[in-house]
Amino acid sequence: MACVLQIGAGGVGGVVAHKMAQNREVFSRIILASRTLDKCKVIADSIKQKGLGEIEIDCVDADSVESMVALIEKYKPKLVVNVALPYQDLSIMEACLRTKTHYLDTANYEHPDSAHFEYKEQWAYDTRYKEAGIFGLLGSGFDPGVTNVFCAYAQKHYFDEIHSIDILDCNAGDHGYAFATNFNPEINLREVSSKARFWVKDENLAQNTDLKKDTIYRKFEREEKHFSLEANTQDLKNEDYFGGQWQDIAPLALMKEWDYPEVGVKNSYLLYHEELESLVRNIKGLKRIRFFMTFGESYLTHMKCLENVGLLRVDEIEHNGQKIVPIQVLKTLLPDPASLASRTKGQTNIGCFIKGLKDGKDRTIYIYNICDHEACYKEVNAQGVSYTTGVPAMIGAKLILEGKWGIGVAKIPNNADNSDMPQGGEFQGIDSHNGGGVWNMEQNDPDPFMSELNKQGLPYVVCEIDSKGERKVLEDGRK
Ligand code: NDP
């Protein structure tokens, strides 16, 4: 029985609050606070209407550490669940530190002025969280989140050594619009239009012989732009990291056709995604890790066009005597992702395709979840992308409050060698002890999380794939 404070009342926030209300034996008091009180009220009313009881609501500007501290002191929660935007991660983490309150989020800190994300600034809280005796859980959504846990589960139960991981994220949902994004448009478009990168330790695997060059996004590519693009998307380089190398490629340049079980074949594009950074450190024997996401022709063509005219710019420009940021204007024009929920049909299929060794023999394991958009809407008024993020956020929170993850729970043995991280306080990184500090998902025991996935609406399937490509189901949480 515990009090939890949730920040953020968007698409994901709606799901987290509903799912917490479904688990009252753990979340006995729920406070939902966000920038716009009305959005909190809509969620609270829906929870009540569904017979899930009352939640309290409040208003906060989470960019202000002082306001966050005051809010935490007002309610004295055991845990703060941050499902606002990645821009607020550091101010909320800081407020949790000052008030000695556990912290959880679903996305890596991003600076509003630069479409660039890495864990450095959040990992820098590790030592101070340990000293304060609090636990910070980073990235408890689906990807990052469940995908990290799938890798940890594979490492624990199916492999002696993992050599390669492809994270495959397919949203085969159709909302009927020519172009819309299924989560916050600004965050989504910044992520997709940034340069792609993967991590590799083995030259042969760096060739990506299984991938094709994309033709759809590149069709409208021109060298010359009438505005300057952020260097982030142009400055392609290889960078040494943790015994291997990050290799950059142009945005949406490489793709593979992947046959997603029960969904079908989809073009899947190589992207950079934040979970790669922690998995590189925590998965034993890893030689390559990549992330792929599916996009349809309409999405890619619209996005290229928006980029070409300058509407994806994240810098300030002058317009009729006013300062505006083009991508924020675009966000205002596009449908609110939450409004897509009632019109989206189809499924998501997100999983990890993992190769490695077991008992000296090659092994291939594919772990995935399939989620149906219409079923999500029926249950919690959300589309599948919000649902697949919100349910794992609730599960992470539940495990912390039940004492299964976090303080007092030993770290699972893994490959983490943080010798390349500056030691002594700041930037000590992910080498935690006694359960305190700032942890990534795969550092925790995957078993209780996996078991909750089957109970809370995101059942998983584990398949073994033989040398002929035949799939044999080893576990199916739906049965
Ligand atoms: P939305 O834009 O729908 O919701 C964001 C919410 O945060 C809104 O209620 C917004 O308030 C609130 N908010 C924004 N700024 C502030 C602030 N300064 N103070 C208080 N509240 C604020 O986003 P989503 O629900 O789609 O996404 C939520 C989070 O989930 C994001 O961090 C996103 O990156 C992450 N995510 C993670 C995924 C994963 O798998 N790991 C997948 C998808 C999303 P207002 O209503 O006033 O704008």
pLDDT tens digits for 94-103?
Answer: 999 999 999 9
pLDDT at res. 424? 42
Q: What is the three-state SS of 380-438?
A: HCCCHHHHHHHHHHHHHHHHHHCCCCCCCCCCCCCCCCCCCCCCCCCCCCCCCCCCCEE
- 144: preceding bond cis by omega (within 30 degrees): yes
Q: For the chain, state the CA radius of gyration.
A: 21
365 strand-pairing partners = 354, 464
Q: Which residue has the tokens 């189809």?
A: 346
Q: Is the CB of 273 under 6 A from ligand 1?
A: no
Beta carbons of 266 and 172 less than 8 angstroms apart: yes
DSSP 3-state assignment of 151? Answer: helix
- Cα 193-187-166 angle, rounded to 5 deg: 65
- Ligand 1 center to residue 86 CA distance, Å? 7
Residue with tokens 């291997």: 244
444 CB neighbour count, 10 Å cutoff? 26
Two tokens, residue 223: 């060298």
Sign of CA dihedral 203, 252, 120, 352: negative
- The answer to whether 257 and 265 are in contact (CB under 8 A) is yes
With a 6 A CB cut-off, is 104 part of the ligand 1 pocket?
A: no
Q: Is 126 in the pocket of ligand 1 (CB under 6 A)?
A: no
Low-confidence ranges of the chain (pLDDT < 70): 115, 229-234, 410-433
Walk me through the domains of the chain, giving residue ranges and CATH numbers: 2-140+385-456 (3.40.50.720), 146-379 (3.30.360.10)
Q: Render pLDDT for 164-196 as a digit per residue (tens, 0 to 9).
A: 999 999 999 999 999 999 888 888 888 888 889
Residue 85 Cβ < 6 Å to ligand 1:
yes
Pocket lining: 138 vs ligand 1, CB cutoff 6 Å: no
**Residue 209 has what pLDDT?**
96
From the CA of 88, give the closest atom in ligand 1.
Answer: 18
- What ligand 1 atom has the least distance to the C-alpha of 142? 40
Write down the pTM of the prediction: 0.95
Mean pLDDT of the chain: 92
| Predicted local confidence at residue 412, as pLDDT | 61
C-alpha 115 to ligand 1 mean position (Å): 16
